[in-house]
Amino acid sequence: MAGPTSRLFSRGVDLGRHRHRLLLLRNLQSAAAAADPKLCPLSSAAPPVRSYSSAFTSVHGGRPSSEYAKIRKESLETQFGRILGSSSHTIFADRRFGPFLAVYRAATISFHVVKLTIWHLLLSDVHKRAEKFRETLIRLGPFYIKLGQALSTRPDILPSAYCQELSKLQDQIPPFPTRIAVRTIESELGSRISDLFADISPEPIAAASLGQVYKAHLHSGELVAVKVQRPGMAPLLTLDALLFNMIGGQLKRFAKARKDLLVAVNEIVRHMFDEIDYVLEGKNAERFAILYSHGSGGGSMTSIKVPKVYWNYTRKSILALEWIDGIKLTDAERISKANLNRKSMIDEGLYCSLRQLLEDGFFHADPHPGNLVATEDGSLAYFDFGMMGDIPRHYRVGLIQMLVHYVNRDSLGLANDFHSLGFVPEGTDLHAIATALRVAFGDGRRQSNDFQGVMNHLYDVMYDFNFSLPPDYALVIRALGSLEGTAKALDPDFKVIESAYPFVIGRLLADPSPDMRKILRELLICDDGSIRWNRLERLHADCSYISTVARIFKRTGR
């Protein structure tokens, strides 16, 4: 009787497991429907009617492609060349002292480069070299500080020691005199300062490397923030960019940078020129507001606020925005006194950022604590729309696929993602990359779900295998790093990848497009057609979270 009883017991266990799995599938379907009643991706009902942004499609039919990355990079380099050529013509044609300024600046830069070369000979420790490199960039001024900040997120260009050291760079530039700012305002707007504003603060409220901000009242009584650009920024940026192309080779040797350092610098400088065009920044702010601004805050609800642009007081070097009083997210005492819900703000900020990166593609590339503040009613307000990213749909799909492969520790899948998106050159041994990724990530105990931890794992792999980040993805890395750093000000245990995964799963369940169906199928089904039940169970748990979040967000009418 032992044999039949054992078989009967085994069948009972199998039957119980089968029922459990059927229940999982039904619950998964219910959770997906709760997130959006129109969506039921696991059923055979009519196709969902919700649509997702498909703008900025690839020249290759919307599919991830290394060829697209190459064409995109060449297009941006051509665009940058036109900008730089036009600006350099202005320096030497419109300014009689242009050649003398160039010689003086070249001598200053050469002096610091020679000092750096001497340190290169004297120091063998890479961390000491990285420290001297950072100190030199600070002495060279705004252009090089911005350059260092951007290169700190480029492990495909610099060794990890340099990336970590450059991440310490801040805008350490003193403000320029208010009398010069007033002269700029009057010149740009064509009126006396007293005719333009009822009053304006005698000193800047905030100052950075490219400009500074004053608080003012319009004659109508409205309170505004007036952003004034540092004088001569366009010609100075142009001059430094031109000179960098002359001395960049020496800096490259000192930092042991990859051969495409100059290509990366050209891309960074192109973004700098965008940042000093305040008309463009105003347009970016309005586009951002249309896409993401909503709600009215108050109670337990959090909303996203974007300051209104006052176009009558805005020019290429002057930007007037609605004044929004905010609490820095690093100011724990004021946030506590205001009784603000930290978790609600983190969820709202994460939701908004993931919408930017994964749905619409137009994203704020630098959401650090100075550009994202809390208001007294619990809203989140975004500032500074000079550095924005705009990624095509197939890059957004690629980002989702990379996240899924990383969380499930699929090293070969991740290596294939890097190749299909143009991160590695043609002919690279993807199995070697997969092996290096397995070694870098280690076992489950070493796996990190915070962004900086992931990047620390990837630094050496990206450098050793000669990765080359496409222009759009370099800004994505910067945005994710800034986002996590900002959220950690509210919750030190926040991990952007762990927190983003349920949103990504919700997107996979909700979006009926073939590429999303393919990622979901690869996530849940093995090559032999069997179901990965452990992943399905995790998916079920994530969907329970998605349903809760969906019900919360539906109350705001989104």
CA distance to 119, 143, 165, 254, 399, per residue, from 115 (Å): 6, 19, 19, 11, 42
Catalogue the long-range contacts made by 112-121 (C-beta closer than 8 Å, 24 or more residues apart): 112/136, 112/139, 112/140, 113/247, 113/250, 113/251, 116/250, 116/251, 116/254, 117/250, 117/254, 119/254, 120/253, 120/254
Catalogue the long-range contacts made by 289-293 (C-beta closer than 8 Å, 24 or more residues apart): 291/355, 291/356, 291/360, 291/362, 292/352, 292/355, 292/356, 292/360
Phi then psi for residue 51, to 5 deg, are -115, 155
Whether 366 is a known active-site residue: answer yes
CA distance to 44, 61, 416, per residue, from 419 (Å): 34, 17, 5
Q: Yes or no: say if 400 and 501 are a contact pair by the CB < 8 Å rule.
A: no
Q: Yes or no: say if 451 and 479 are a contact pair by the CB < 8 Å rule.
A: no
Helix (H) or strand (E) holding 502: helix 496-510
Reading the block at residue 247, the tokens are 């001395």
Tell me, letter by letter, the H, E, C secondary structure of 520-532: HHHHHECCCCCEC
State the burial class of residue 218 (Cβ atoms within 10 Å of its Cβ: 0-12, 13-18, 19+): middle
Reading the block at residue 40, the tokens are 């039921």
Out of 366, 410, 472, 511, which one is annotated catalytic?
A: 366
Active site residues: 366
